[in-house]
Structure 1
Amino acid sequence: MPIQPRPEELPRLWLMSDARNDAVLEDALARLPEGSALVFRHYHLGSVARRERFEMLRSICRSKGLRLILSDRASEARAWDADGVYGPPDRLGDAADMLRVTTAHDAAELAAAGAADAHAVMISPVFATRSHPGAPALGPEGFHDLARRTSVPVVALGGMTAERARDLGVVRWAAIDGLS
């Protein structure tokens, strides 16, 4: 049966993993409030090491009441017992039984997120970010313009911190450095 979380049931904080915060993930997870989420990317690891790291972090997430979202195909997320899948809209289609999260950088990607029946869309990059040095940022005005164009619950991503989230007036936000 397809899950359909209400917007208020979605995590407010989303910690994104990558190579540069891997060494501090356990500490970062310990600071997250219950109901937050970890989006496990770890593209820098080989398949066996990636799965082992996922398993170890999954036990921490379960013990703290955190959602664990796998960036991969839906079939992989299901096999790994993740709470959801993160990726491009075309990878969300067969994930009716789990949380579906995608990213949008423009209006076309935002429309694709809606067409894919995503539960949440990360609009990015709101601010300059080390993940994509030199990439143009949306800024507050660009972020809000895109956010108004969708009925999919929005997560602000890119250069986000707690202070920036407050200034933007957003309920949900995601970060690598800002939460690590």
Structure 2
Amino acid sequence: MRRQGWPTSWLLTDERMGKDLATAIARAAEAGAGIIVRHHTSGRDERRRIAQAVRESGAVLGIARDVALAAELRADLVHNPDGGTDLPFSLSVHDHGEAEAAAQRPAAMVFVSPVFSTRSHPGAKVLGEAQALALARAACHPAIALGGMDAERGATLMARGFHGWAGIDCWLRT
């Protein structure tokens, strides 16, 4: 896995964060984390507002899917782009097929998930550490562990070969 100059911790936003979103953005930015605006069911104006808050925080800004919005806001990264892009992009990897497909693309990084059980995807089959590491290696890009993560689990997985870790709920905990 190649390592790049990307943050080693990430916040992925979602609608469940509600009024606690600003707190999560502030905590992630203070920790030097990148932040991907991933509010899939929110309108473009709401995603733009959140992205502007991320920009104001000084964090690395990623936009999920929407290449046009990412270009408009001069995002640093597009996560799972919905079309071609000249911006750096990341991809989700959940299985070996997705890892092999990612290895064929010039992705900046991959987000391997779910490593552990997670509240955002209850009942989803988890990969576990060994399978997650195997997928990360197969993807041939810097890999970010996602799913049931926090700083402690992230540090453990980084020591074993991941570039970093990402979470949602962990940024809400005090």
Under TM normalisation by the shorter chain, which class is it?
A: 0.7 to 0.9
Root mean square deviation, CA, Å:
2.1
1:158 is displaced (CA, Å) by 0.6
Question: Aligned with 1:167: secondary structure?
Answer: helix
Aligned counterparts of 1:116 and 1:167: Cα–Cα separation in 2: 28
1:9 paired with 2:5, answer yes
Q: State the match for 1:177 in structure 2.
A: 169
Amino-acid identity (%): 35
Partner of residue 85 from structure 1, selected from 78, 82, 87: 78
Q: Please list the CA deviations of residues 46-90 of structure 1 after superposition, one character each: whole Å capped at 9, or x if unmatched.
A: x2xxx33333333332233212211123233213432221116xx
In the superposition, relative to structure 1, how do residues 75 and 116 fare at CA in structure 2: closer, same or farther (>3 Å)? farther
Shift of 1:175: 0.6
Native 8 Å contact 1:34 1:66 kept in 2? no
Find the residue that maps to 1:7 and give its secondary structure. coil
Alignment of 1:120 with 2:109, yes or no, is yes
Moved over 6 A (4+): none
Q: Tell me, which stretches of 5 or more residues in structure 1 are unaligned?
A: 1-5
2:37 corresponding residue in structure 1: 40
Q: CA deviation at 1:166?
A: 2.1
TM-score (norm 2): 0.85
User: How many pairs were matched up?
Assistant: 167
> Per-residue CA shift, 1:96-117, capped at 9, x if unaligned?
2x22011001111011112221
2:158 corresponds to 1:165: no
Is 1:16–1:40's contact at 8 Å kept on the other side of the alignment?
yes
Asked if the contact 1:86–1:101 (Cα under 8 Å) also holds between the matched residues in 2, the reply is: yes
- TM-score scaled to structure 1, two decimals? 0.82
